[in-house]
Structure 1
Amino acid sequence: MSAFRMYLRVVSESLQPEEISSRLGTGPDEATAIGSRRRPQSPPRAHANWIRQVSAANGPGRPEDLEPMVLGWGPEFAAALGRLAGSGGADVSLVVVQELTDPEDPRQKGIFLGAPLLAWLAEAGASLDIDQYVYCDCDDQRATATPASSA
């Protein structure tokens, strides 16, 4: 399992997912509509979510492994996102989720984003959202044991 996941999220309080898809010229991997409910007893959603997952051809990886996928969506898609964000009709963000399970694993540490990806995000009018979760035992097992008594 990779320590990182990445996805592009478009959130709108006024546009339904179908309208977002129409403006972007492509559909999402997943979406939720304004007024939909998570469960029947939940209040209606006040905004729509339009999400496109980022995955590398060789499976999950680090952010720098996932970067080519986003860049592969092309400058036209970035420009369409930028127009949508610039219109005030939606907020666009690239979400990087980091789940740290082994503090000693160097592949789980650090987030590197290259200049080409940052330029693509700027063209898309997108913010960067980094969510970090640490799942590890809080006991420091590396501490040196102190003897209870000495002879």
Structure 2
Amino acid sequence: MTPFAMYVRVISKTLQPGEIDVRLGVCADESYALGSRKHPQSRPFGHTGWMRHAVAPEPGARPEDLEPIVLGWGEQFARALGALTDSGDAEVALVLVQCVEDLDDEMSKGIVLSARLVAWLAIARAYVDIDQYIFHECEERATEE
């Protein structure tokens, strides 16, 4: 498992994935439509989700390794995201997912965002959503009766 993942997420209650593709001029890496279901027994999604992933160049990538990928998508893409947000049709987030499996591994800890990435996010009118998961096996203490 890679300790970090990063992607841009667009959420809309009115647009379908294809409409977002057209407005952004970019196709989603992953999407789901308003009213669709992840599984037949699942509740329908109450919104459309559209994602573009910053694919890690190598295993063990950190956020600073993923930043150049997002910045490489360019200012035009950031402006299109910002226009989508400004229209009121969607909201945009940069999602960072952090998975910590070894509490002693310093490379899987800490999140740093450069000034260049923060400026790109401002143009995109995007907020940052950080999901952190810690996978740790705790030793169970024996209880005396």
TM-score by length of 2: 0.91
SS at match of 1:38: coil
Equivalent in the alignment of 2:143? none
How large is the RMSD of aligned CA atoms in angstroms?
A: 1.4
Secondary structure of 1:52's partner? strand
Question: What per-residue deviation string (whole Å, max 9, x for no partner) do you get for residues 11-62 of structure 1?
Answer: 0000000000100001000100111112223332221000111113345500
Q: 1:87-106, CA deviations, whole angstroms, 9 ceiling, x for partnerless residues? A: 11001001000011111111
- Corresponding letter in the other structure for 2:101: T
Equivalent position amino acid for 1:22 in 2 = V
Q: Select the structure of larger CA radius of gyration.
A: 1
Q: Identity over aligned residues, as a percent?
A: 54
Deviates more, 1:69-78 or 1:53-62: 53-62
Alignment of 1:96 with 2:112, yes or no, is: no
- Comparing 44-53 with 23-32, greater Cα deviation is found at 44-53
**Matched residues in 1 for 2:2 and 2:56: separation?**
11
For residues 20 and 8 of structure 2, the distance between their equivalents in structure 1, rounded to whole angstroms, comes to 13
**SS in structure 2 at match of 1:40:** coil
Equivalent residues in 2 for 1:5-84, closer than 5 Å: 5-84=5-84
Instruction: Give the unaligned 5+ runs of structure 1.
Output: 141-151
Count of aligned pairs between the two proteins: 140
What is the match of residue 114 of structure 2? Answer: 114
> Do the aligned partners of residues 112 and 27 (structure 1) sit closer, same or farther apart at CA in structure 2, a change above 3 Å counting?
same
